[in-house]
């Protein structure tokens, strides 16, 4: 029986959903599958899972055609392996150019053999107060996009089971397109890591944002919420605050554009 282990990071639910769909598709092929959030496992624990698996997957949302910092750190702390067959996948709204390839560029130095890589178009989760950036939290309106993504998941798994190589975004042209986003994103990333703040009037001090943050960027000191400047821009605290008290670069959520994105379906639990 094929033994598959999938490691993923999901800020607001899109990559979590795709990871569950991948697991379902593999299980339909009689594979044994473990789906693991990198927030729930140490690199040492992951090493044990990897050694015992026939096929390893890594999934992440793409940020400016780049990996989330938390996924870069996780990969960097894994032990080196000997050509373990591996697939990578990223979730994106419109395009990333080479979103899967950039993940491979971090995994290959660790010994992972990237035979498959692809991108999944998912609903836009960036609901910041930025003009001309449409989004929705209407689950019914997302269904068409999710059906297309589900079909793509099945095609991807079928290709892997048959041994057919899939390396979407690995060509030189895709890499150039990705660089148009990635280069400025990396240059500006450090400055953006302290973009989160709080509306003291709206905030109820429920401390859910403290629980939600995957990198412990938020803390409470003398009843006041503070940030440490190591935000990874996953938007989880912004999207899932029950009273929209989290602000981005000092701007509040614009409810006239709709409620914040809180996962493509019910079931994603940010904490």
pLDDT tens profile 106-135: 999 999 999 999 999 999 999 988 766 788
By the 8 A CB rule, do 194 and 77 touch?
no
Task: Flag whether 77 is in a domain.
Answer: yes
Q: Is residue 259 part of a domain?
A: no
pLDDT of residue 133: 75
Please report the pLDDT score of residue 129 as a whole number.
83
Same domain, 16 and 124: yes
Please give the pLDDT value at position 223.
Answer: 86
| CA distances, 195 to each of 170, 187, 217, 226, 247 (Å) | 32, 15, 11, 12, 8
240-264 average pLDDT score: 93
- For residues 213-239, average pLDDT: 95
Domain boundary among 160, 183, 206: 183
On the CB side of 176, how many CA atoms lie within 13 Å of its CA?
Answer: 3
What average pLDDT does the segment 246-260 reach?
91
pLDDT of residue 134: 82
**Is residue 268 predicted with pLDDT exceeding 80?**
yes
Question: What pLDDT band is residue 257 in, cutting at 50, 70 and 90?
Answer: confident
Note the pLDDT of residue 132: 66
**pLDDT at 256 > cutoff 90:** no
pLDDT of residue 264: 96
The answer to whether position 265 is within a domain reads no
Contact indicator for 95, 62 with CB cutoff of 8 Å: no
Residues 11 and 132 in one domain: yes
Pair (172, 202) in one structural domain: no
For residue 193, give the 3-state DSSP assignment.
Answer: coil
The CATH number of residue 58's host domain is 3.40.50.360
Distance of CA 29 to the CA centre of its chain: 25
Q: Is residue 93 part of a domain?
A: yes
In a domain, 260, yes or no: no
Q: Which residues contact 268 (CB under 8 A, 6 or more apart)?
A: 10, 12, 13, 16, 17, 262
Q: Pick the last residue of a domain from 183, 209, 224.
A: 183
Look up the pTM and report it: 0.96
Query: Hey, what are 191's tokens?
Result: 């400055």
Same-domain status, 212 and 167: no
CATH number, domain containing residue 208: 3.30.70.20
Residue 215 structural domain? 194-252
Output the average pLDDT for the chain: 95
Q: In this structure, is residue 233 part of a structural domain?
A: yes
User: Does residue 13 sit in the same domain as residue 138?
Assistant: yes
Mean pLDDT of 35-41: 97
CB 118 within 8 A of CB 152: yes
Instruction: Work out how many domains the chain is built from and give that number.
Output: 2
Residues 49, 98 within the same domain: yes
Domain-located, residue 189: no
Note whether 179 and 100 are same-domain residues.
yes
Long-range contacts of 164-167 (CB under 8 A, 24+ apart): 165/115, 165/116, 166/116, 166/117, 166/118, 167/100, 167/101, 167/114, 167/115, 167/116, 167/117
Residues 169, 217: one domain? no
Confidence of residue 236 (pLDDT cuts 50, 70, 90): very high
Residue range 32-58: mean pLDDT, rounded: 97
Whether residues 113 and 242 share a domain: the answer is no
Whether residues 200 and 235 share a domain: the answer is yes
């Amino acid at each position: 029986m094929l033994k598959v282990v999938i490691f993923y990071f999901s800020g607001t639910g899109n990559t979590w959903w795709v990871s569950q769909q991948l697991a379902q598709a593999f299980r339909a092929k009689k594979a044994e599958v473990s789906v693991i959030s990198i927030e729930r496992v140490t690199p040492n624990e992951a090493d044990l899972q990897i050694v015992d698996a026939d096929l390893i997957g890594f999934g992440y949302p793409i940020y400016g055609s780049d990996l989330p910092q938390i996924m870069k750190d996780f990969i960097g702390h894994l032990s080196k392996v000997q050509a373990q067959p591996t697939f990578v996948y990223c979730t994106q709204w419109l395009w990333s150019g080479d979103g899967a390839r950039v993940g491979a560029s971090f995994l290959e130095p660790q010994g992972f053999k990237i035979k498959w890589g692809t991108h999944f178009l998912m609903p836009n989760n960036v609901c910041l107060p930025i003009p001309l950036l449409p989004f929705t939290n209407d689950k019914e309106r997302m269904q068409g996009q999710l059906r297309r993504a589900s079909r793509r998941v099945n095609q991807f798994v079928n290709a892997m089971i048959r041994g057919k190589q899939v390396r979407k975004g690995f060509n030189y042209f895709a890499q150039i397109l990705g660089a148009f986003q990635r280069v400025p994103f990396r240059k500006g990333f450090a400055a953006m890591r302290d973009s989160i703040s709080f509306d003291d009037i709206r905030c109820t001090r429920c401390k859910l944002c403290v629980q939600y943050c995957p990198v412990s960027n938020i803390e409470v000191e003398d009843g006041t919420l503070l940030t440490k400047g190591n935000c990874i821009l996953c938007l989880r605290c912004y999207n899932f605050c029950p009273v929209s008290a989290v602000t981005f670069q000092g701007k509040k959520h614009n409810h006239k554009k709709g409620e914040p994105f809180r996962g493509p379906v019910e079931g994603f639990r940010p904490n």
